[in-house]
Chains A and B, each alone.
Chain A
């Protein structure tokens, strides 16, 4: 986890928040550093994590997590991490041996129904359901990333239904957290992606939006991060808090600074 990002979000592994949906959004840049941050943050906080990793292989995440001080293999062995490796599971759906009854592949929608994510939801729910011997803190669902599901042919309404049911199970019933990554583009013609992104913006409590600089690639400033804390409408109308920082990604750390205050410039 990145210490500076924790300070900006006022979050600490000792007291993780509960029942929140965090949306990670990236435009014209790669926001996966935020996924690595939250993965290592929640593992260090002692939460049970279900990671639906559709984009990269297990070893990719493991290498980066080790740089951040967490071992995914060890977390898997002690039962803290349930890792759904999308790349391998997809392969198994098409070319694997016949599944036994009762062991449905969570990604079987790719070959069968085409769009119903109910089996994936049930996989998430059974992974995060507390069993008697567990002593983990609140459960966390991490998805990297939802735009891949749209590319696989899932309809946007079905993606939203999947997230809806995960919110019911994880945030509402188990008092856990959900962190989801989506790609977006301001002038995108991909209406389905924009529908998913806008709908999630309405539902989420915290939005972290990583954008590439409008002026192009820069060696010292890799992008700009907008942190939007949605005001809750539970008791009265509250404002959304918007803060903007620029960041630079280093080997084991990400530094954040106010706009225009990069160390290279000062």
Chain B
């Protein structure tokens, strides 16, 4: 499923979520390389790493299609250097203005990273801009096929992350894979993917993967134990516990018949009924023999009460 997502199976907002244990920028660059190989122009709005670090490792045919907006050098306009992209310019019009400078045709917008924007602008503003970018670009005559955003999941409150996940058409969470996977030089990772199709169906899957030189993904299989085993088909394999005992747990036929013939204690049968009727004819008598220590007083103790 990761291969399909990288190959462009879904448009709209694609969120790549990473944590401090496992970085997600290499996966972001994999998506970028795949978009470029498909002939799309890729507009990167980079805020966290310098341009040369982002461009490193790409093939020449990818870098040709990469248009980098430098939000790293002076995003807050402290040094006043010209030519950069500041955080304030991240509006739908600002972004589509930068897109218009590129070639016509399908375009992919890459945000590295969305976390930087969320720390500097309120969440509703960022969400509105993300929603309006395709429309603003369409009114300028461009087609934005997808918006790839890198999000550092552990920098934001869980509610914010959930909000962005609900906006996204696909979410890929990157985490470390257990030791021993893949060959020695690989860095195996676990991708937890969620994809919302146009029909409304939601697909969720986990896969192991790694990223090779040139930012090509390589699938490493799926985690075992995630598919629940069908317990009905398991044969009953436990041994019979009543075999091989020194005492008898079974009943023979005569014993069984005798047991069935015993009436239950509270079962109201004809015999019980007749014994009860005989007993109620005579009143209950109590016979009491006082011994030497008893002090029997025949008077009624309540006689002196004036009630």
Contacts and interface: CB of A to CB of B under 8 A. Distances in A.
Partners in one complex: yes
Interface in A128-170: 157, 160-161, 164-165, 168
Contact of B20 (A202, A235, A236): A202
B140 interface: no
A260 interface: no
A258 to B, nearest CB: 19
Nearest to A171: B50
A201 interface: yes
B65 interface: no
B154 interface: yes
Nearest to A173: B73
A236 B27 CA distance: 9
B281 interface: no
A79 interface: no
A234 B57 contact: yes
A237 B189 contact: yes
Given A121-B78, A165-B78, A157 B23 contact: no
A236 B155 contact: no
Contacts of A160: 119
Interface in A193-243: 195, 198-199, 201-203, 230-231, 233-240
Main secondary structure of the interface of A (DSSP, over half): helix
Interface stretch (B160-168, B210-218, B292-300): B210-218
B20 A201 contact: yes
Contacts of A233: 23, 25-26, 29
Interface string B193-233: 00000000000000000111111000000000000000000
B90 interface: no
Contacts of A239: 187
A118 interface: yes
B155 A198 contact: yes
A240 B215 contact: no
A203 B20 contact: no
Interface in B28-86: 29, 48, 50, 53, 56-57, 72-76, 78-79
Given A234-B53, A237-B210, A237-B211, 20 more contacts: A118-B78, A121-B78, A161-B76, A165-B76, A168-B73, A168-B74, A198-B20, A198-B152, A198-B154, A201-B20, A202-B23, A230-B23, A231-B23, A233-B23, A233-B25, A233-B26, A233-B29, A235-B213, A236-B26, A236-B213
8 contacts: A118-B78, A164-B75, A198-B155, A231-B23, A236-B211, A237-B26, A237-B189, A240-B22
Interface of B: 20-23, 25-27, 29, 48, 50, 53, 56-57, 72-76, 78-79, 115, 119-120, 152, 154-155, 186-187, 189, 210-215
